[in-house]
Structure 1
Amino acid sequence: MLSSLLAQKKSISFAGCITQTYFYFFLGTVEFILLAVMSFDRYVAICNPLRYTVIMNSSICFLMVLGCWVGAFLSVLCPTIVVSRLPYCGHAINHFFCDIAPLLQVACIDTRLIELLNFLLSSLVVLSSLMLTAVSYSYIISTIMKIPSGQGRQKAFSTCVSHITVVTIAYGSSIFMYVRPNQSYSLEFDKVAAVLTTVVTPLLNPFIYSLRNEKVKEVLKEAVIRIFSRS
């Protein structure tokens, strides 16, 4: 997609379009399931610190990561196959890249059942992983509030801030895009939201996670002081 944009190429083969659609949803689903797994990791680290190495051993970590990939593969495979079998009346889609929603817009048949299937699968993936994340953090917050010292609470909470920020951005943008009924669908709104999920969020994630590093914080402080001192 990036190479096509840089070359100002506006065409893509049908097989390439379906492949792009599949990997867009596949990798996005992996991210959501992985965020839920990471919240469980934070839960074990804060609520059961003495048993962390026993619970989160290498075998369990491998199975969790494998489950993320297998679960995402299976959940995205069915709707992608359905979309690839549809008859289409046009060859131009109103979007930056191949997505299920703009593809359904140029289909020659009634796609309401497919849109319902897409809505239900998106809701299942996003909301179920969000619920697991919320449950994990409810226990985490409850445990942190029981820590007697303020410094201890701050240290425990600081380990979760970056993950909470990434979760908020990822789930917020995706819920607006996919977990909503067809009546409120707007392709123009989705094009704007797509920029957030595909460009802005990946750029912010490394910066958000690196803020936990003390050296990075010091460099940022020095840069801010240098900027304000010049002004």
Structure 2
Amino acid sequence: MAQVDCAASAPTMDEGNWTSVSEFVLLGLSEQQDLLIIAVLLVTYLTLVHALTQHRAVSFISCMAQLFMFFSVGNMENYLLAAMAYDRYVAVCDPLRYAAVVTRSLCLKMVAASWAVVIAHALLHTVMAANLRYCSNRLQHFFCDIRPLLLLSCARPLTTELVTYTVGFSVWLSPFVFILASYVRIGVAVARLRSAQGLRKALSTCGSHLTMVLLTFSIVMWLNFHPDSSDTQGHDLKVTFLDKVLVPTLNPIVYSLRNKDVAAALRRAGRKVLAWGM
């Protein structure tokens, strides 16, 4: 397992400059603290302490643990969205058999299979990152991610990059294709109904889930399918921030809108705001 020396802060990324490094320094979203970002972090998490303090170092072991958790939990969200897409498909296309098809046993099996895939994927990336040789410990990010870690390696790890992007793409693509296929079937079923009531019911069933799918996968597409350049690095950090902070915050809000009491309360609040404005 390779470690990084704090003294090697201006590397030439040459194999001969490699030394043992014990920690990484998270440079955050930018050199200047963004007050809006700090406010959002304070409201949503009250942690990510490095954004509010000058002590931004994280140990090598902690960085690898964070990388493992990031991949396992982050990818698990995509697989749960896929499982929920199947739930919506059965609810819209085969509502009479919903209780018989979507059983507790099936749900547990889908979750267990998803965890097996994402943990294996996260472990692969973590082992590869732990065995890289690093020439710097100044990580241009606000948490440990595989792409900025690859940029700190002394030599360009072509094999590691190939495995990272190939496996990562397949793990991301699988739930996306499944969700897409489910909504194609849902769209066909709704089109056959040819009724406004059927369309409203489908939107009520799938609206919240579809909103989160579009938001989550559009961000993932941006982060993984655009050319790397120095001009886009800062933008990538802000987009990643939205993905890891704003999207989880919106999750309970979006899904709770299906609750009639919550929707009624929001309408009342909206009317009060409009009344005050007048």
TM-score (normalised: structure 2): 0.78
Q: CA deviation at 1:29?
A: 0.7
Q: CA deviation at 1:145?
A: 2.0
Q: Do 1:32 and 1:125's aligned partners in 2 also have CA atoms closer than 8 Å?
A: no
The C-alpha deviation readout for 1:160-191, integer Å capped at 9, x for no partner, is 01000000011110121124566799432321
Q: Does 1:92 align with 2:135?
A: no
May I ask how many residue pairs the two structures share in their alignment?
231
Q: Which contiguous aligned blocks of 4+ residues in structure 1 show a shift greater than 3 angstroms?
A: 3-8, 179-186
Q: Does 1:188 align with 2:198?
A: no
Gaps of 5+ in 1: none
Q: CA deviation at 1:64?
A: 0.5
SS in 1 for 2:193: coil
Question: For the residues of structure 2 that align with 1:120 and 1:134, how far apart are their CA atoms?
Answer: 21
* Counterpart for residue 208 of structure 2: 162
Question: For the residues of structure 1 that align with 2:215 and 2:161, how far apart are their CA atoms?
Answer: 24
What value does the CA root-mean-square deviation take over the aligned residues? 1.9
Gaps of 5+ in 2: 1-46
Query: Which letter does structure 2 place at the counterpart of 1:108?
Result: C
Question: For the residues of structure 2 that align with 1:140 and 1:183, how far apart are their CA atoms?
Answer: 39
Q: Is the alpha carbon distance of 1:181 and 1:120 closer, same or farther for their aligned partners in structure 2, counting shifts above 3 Å?
A: farther
Residue pairs, 1:142-157, within 5 angstroms: 142-157=188-203
* Counterpart for residue 139 of structure 1: 185
Q: CA deviation at 1:68?
A: 1.2
Query: Which letter does structure 2 place at the counterpart of 1:105?
Result: L
Structure with greater helix percent: 1
SS in 1 for 2:222: helix
Query: Which letter does structure 1 place at the counterpart of 2:237?
Result: K
2:82 aligned to which of 36, 52, 65: 36
Q: Does 1:48 align with 2:125?
A: no
Q: CA deviation at 1:196?
A: 1.2
Q: Do 2:71 and 2:121's aligned partners in 1 also have CA atoms closer than 8 Å?
A: no
